Chains A and B, each alone.
Chain A
Amino acid sequence: MSGKGLPPVLDTAGPQADPIATLSWVLIVGGGVILLIILVALGIALFGGAWRRKFAGERMVIIGGILFPVVTLTGLLTYGLGLTAGLVGTEDADPVRIHVTGEQWWWRVEYLEPARFTSANEIVIPVGRPALIDLASDNVIHSFWVPELAGKLDMIPGKTNRIRLLAEEPGVYFGACAEYCGGPHALMLFRVRALPPADYARWVRRESGSAMPPSESLAAEGAALFQTLGCGGCHQVRGTRSRGLAGPDLTHVASRLHLGAGILPNNKGTLGGWVANPQRLKPGVKMPAYSALSARELRALVTYMDGLE
């Protein structure tokens, strides 16, 4: 939420959401006025003097129940259809292209253009340049929603939907799965980070590359442990032997803001807690707990992963 204290749907940050915020205000104010009119009519009916009977007749029904709504609704419908057309009809010359898959219960993010690489649970886009994001799922239905940037759009098996995100200001935007997808649906969150173009270019260069090799001995120990424990069976760390695709890509996990699909701040403490017992932090998550690790092993593993920037 911004300093104005308005909720994200009303305090938007891009052209795919701004007109909807305006529309929302029109609807809220208009609806409020109509409610007031009806309450006044009801108040007169209940408390008015005998004079009120003059108005009571079919004429009132026809004016209040037919004429007035017809005029208002015709206006609204035209407004709404025009807005729909505007929001889905924009043509982009040089979009960023991303593919996001809804998983149970996290987000697989594949950057297609300008460079091709994989990440998870965080989508980074350049400020001022549209991103076209293809939304898909090969399991159950999810829905992709970043209220400050756009309305939501579902991810449905067998179908690819495309959403356009355009952030006008740098920032971190909250996103969530909005379609019930079973289990810990409540904890399937993500963030969209909009970076200024120069930062974005730097980010792409680093993020598209392979993982950083471990820099200290404890980290190296952790890297080995990562292999022996079989973490690579589910997770990919590019540049190593870990090629698993069932779970989130961890090549640059340390550069992300959150863990567990947008639910925990990313630091050594939460990372350790997550590895030791993810079920406690996110019941139903498909990652097994590694509670048998010794404190040192856990520290090694965390040090390694914390270095994957």
Chain B
Amino acid sequence: MARRSLPTLAKWAVLLGGPLIWSAHLGFVYAVATVAITLTGEAGLVSRVLIGLATLVCLAATAWIGWSLWAGRLPRWETPQRDLIGLWRKAGALLCLLSFLAVLWQGLPAILIPQQPASHDDLFGGTAPPGPRSR
């Protein structure tokens, strides 16, 4: 019984492949930026390169899964049924397309949002003492 349930899960995983990769990407880029800011005070070059790499990997993965779904190579059905194949092909590929776009967009801030100017080192999120506190 346990053996049979796995392929079903795997089929779901393929159908949801795009959005799952998208979730991982969002979690990763947010975590990398936050950890970089926690440790160094700035989302510096290293974090941006990491975000860029993750974006490329996720783009490639969604593209590959999406293409395989569209071409009917994924998933393998032990007893094929036309309607389900059609659902996986079209819905799965569209999900990958949407995820591809979202991942692409989520990579943009790493390029378009510059690091803070030095004089603003504590701008937006700094905790530097603000001068004399009244109480």
Contacts and interface: CB of A to CB of B under 8 A. Distances in A.
A95 B120 CA distance: 11
Interface in A103-118: 108, 110, 112, 116, 118
Interface stretch (B14-22, B34-42, B52-60, B107-115): B107-115
Contacts of A136: 130
A70 B123 CA distance: 33
Nearest to B115: A89
A108 B114 CA distance: 33
Interface string A109-138: 010100010100000000000000010101
B134 A108 contact: yes
B105 A88 contact: no
Contacts of B130: 99, 134, 136, 160
Contacts of B134: 101, 108, 110, 118, 245
Interface in B83-135: 97, 101, 105, 108-109, 112-114, 116-120, 122-128, 130-135
Report the contact-size class of chain A (Cβ under 8 Å from the partner): 20 to 34
Nearest to A162: B123
B131 to A, nearest CB: 5
Given A74-B105, A101-B134, A110-B131, A159 B125 contact: yes
Contact of B112 (A66, A70, A81, A161): A81
Contacts of A74: 105
Minimum-distance CB pairs A-B, first 7: A91-B117, A81-B112, A134-B130, A162-B123, A99-B130, A245-B134, A112-B131
B127 A77 contact: no
Given A89-B120, A160-B130, 8 more contacts: A77-B108, A81-B108, A88-B124, A91-B117, A92-B119, A99-B130, A158-B127, A162-B122
A84 B113 contact: yes
Interface of A: 66, 70, 73-74, 77-78, 81-82, 84-85, 88-92, 97, 99, 101, 108, 110, 112, 116, 118, 134, 136, 138, 158-162, 245
Nearest to A74: B105
Nearest to A108: B134
24 contacts: A66-B97, A70-B101, A73-B105, A74-B105, A77-B108, A78-B112, A81-B113, A84-B113, A85-B113, A88-B116, A89-B120, A90-B117, A97-B131, A101-B133, A112-B131, A118-B134, A138-B135, A159-B125, A160-B130, A161-B124, A162-B120, A162-B123, A245-B134, A245-B135
A144 to B, nearest CB: 14
Contacts of B101: 70
Contacts of B126: 160, 162
B122 A89 contact: no
B123 A99 contact: no
A112 to B, nearest CB: 5
A118 B113 CA distance: 36
A73 to B, nearest CB: 8
Contacts of A84: 113
A89 B117 contact: yes
B97 to A, nearest CB: 8
A159 B113 CA distance: 22
B33 to A, nearest CB: 14
B73 to A, nearest CB: 22
B114 A89 contact: yes
A77 B97 CA distance: 18
B106 to A, nearest CB: 10
B131 A99 contact: yes
A88 B119 CA distance: 12
B105 A77 contact: yes
B124 A162 contact: yes
Contacts of A85: 112-114
